[in-house]
Each structure stands twice: as C-alpha cells, then as structure tokens.
C-alpha cells in the first residue's frame, strides 16, 4: 500500500510541475496532557512531521484540520488552542499556503490509515527525534516562542 502512495506522490509532483496549482494545507501541533507533542511518519517518507493535509474545496481550515486528524490518527476529541502561523511554500512546484494550528487532546490516538501513516509518536519538546523534518522543527520553535508567524515554509 505504501507503494501506491509513493506512485500517487510522484504523479502529483509531475502535475504540480506542469500546472503549478495553489493548494491550501492544514497541520497540527498536537499536545497531550503530559506536555508531549505528536509527530507522524508517513509511508512515503522517512522524516517525522506534524499531522495534517490538504483542505478540500469548500472546506474551512478548521473543518479540514478536524477531518485530516481523524483520517490520519483517529483524533476526534481536540481543543483548538490557537493558530501558530500561516506559511507559504513554493517547494514541489506548487503554490502552497499552510495553516498551523496548536491543539490539545487527552484522547488516545492510533494510526487510522496505515496506507498513509506508518508510525506515530509522542515526544517531549526537549527530546525530539533526530530525524524530524527541518520545517516541523521550525514550526515547533514558532510555537514555543509564542510567535504568530507569517513567513516562508
């Protein structure tokens, strides 16, 4: 199944290179009651990331966030704390706008879609994994500093 996601990802990058679409994406900094942050490792990559994904046409950012968290990690019970920032990325040949939310939960999570997410983990902010994506590490820094960021990804 991971092969299917890798093939879809490669096809998407070809499409993005040709058409340069504008995309809207949501991600979440998910905190538990123990002060740990949740990170995911997707089947199509090796680095740890914040959970989330693309907003569908007609969806608000909050609706997209809740849908993506339920689809990826079966997270339904959450409280949105704040928007951490709005970022812009032109990587992967698309014009992507990413909204990062900080959320809190006391709910246990699990991998809801093993075709997309291969691993989840709760980490202390001062003991993040060495293979965390650089952008994820920067977003966590924005959060820890209490910043509202409007910047490139």
User: pLDDT tens digits for 35-92?
Assistant: 999 999 999 889 999 999 999 999 999 999 999 999 999 999 999 999 999 999 987 7
Collapsing DSSP to helix, strand or coil, 64 comes out as: helix
Per-residue pLDDT for 135 more than 60? yes
Q: Tokens at residue 63, please?
A: 């609706």
Per-residue pLDDT for 128 more than 90? yes
Question: What pLDDT shows up at residue 15?
Answer: 67
Answer yes or no: are the C-beta atoms of 84 and 29 closer than 8 Å: yes
Question: What pLDDT shows up at residue 19?
Answer: 65
- What totals of helices (H) and strands (E) does the chain contain, helices first? 3, 8
CATH of 2-152, one of 3.40.640.10, 1.10.3720.10, 3.90.79.10, 3.30.420.40: 3.90.79.10
Question: What pLDDT shows up at residue 33?
Answer: 94
Average pLDDT over the chain, rounded to an integer: 91
Question: What pLDDT shows up at residue 54?
Answer: 94
Q: Comparing 29 with 96, which gets the higher pLDDT?
A: 29
CA distances from 83 to 117, 143, 149 (A): 24, 9, 9
Q: Comparing 16 with 29, which gets the higher pLDDT?
A: 29
């Amino acid at each position: 199944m991971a092969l299917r996601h890798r093939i879809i990802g490669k096809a998407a990058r070809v499409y993005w290179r040709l058409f340069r679409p504008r995309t809207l994406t949501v991600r979440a900094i998910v905190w538990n009651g123990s002060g740990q942050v949740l990170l995911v490792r997707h089947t199509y990559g090796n680095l740890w990331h914040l959970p989330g994904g693309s907003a569908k046409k007609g969806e608000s950012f909050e609706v997209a966030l809740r849908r993506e968290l339920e689809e990826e990690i079966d997270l339904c019970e959450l409280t949105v704390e704040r928007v951490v920032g709005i970022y812009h990325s032109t990587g992967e040949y698309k014009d992507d706008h990413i909204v990062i939310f900080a959320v809190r939960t006391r709910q246990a999570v699990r991998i809801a879609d093993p075709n997309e997410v291969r691993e989840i983990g709760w980490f202390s902010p001062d003991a993040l994994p060495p293979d965390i994506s650089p952008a994820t590490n920067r977003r966590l820094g924005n959060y820890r500093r209490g910043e509202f960021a409007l910047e490139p990804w």
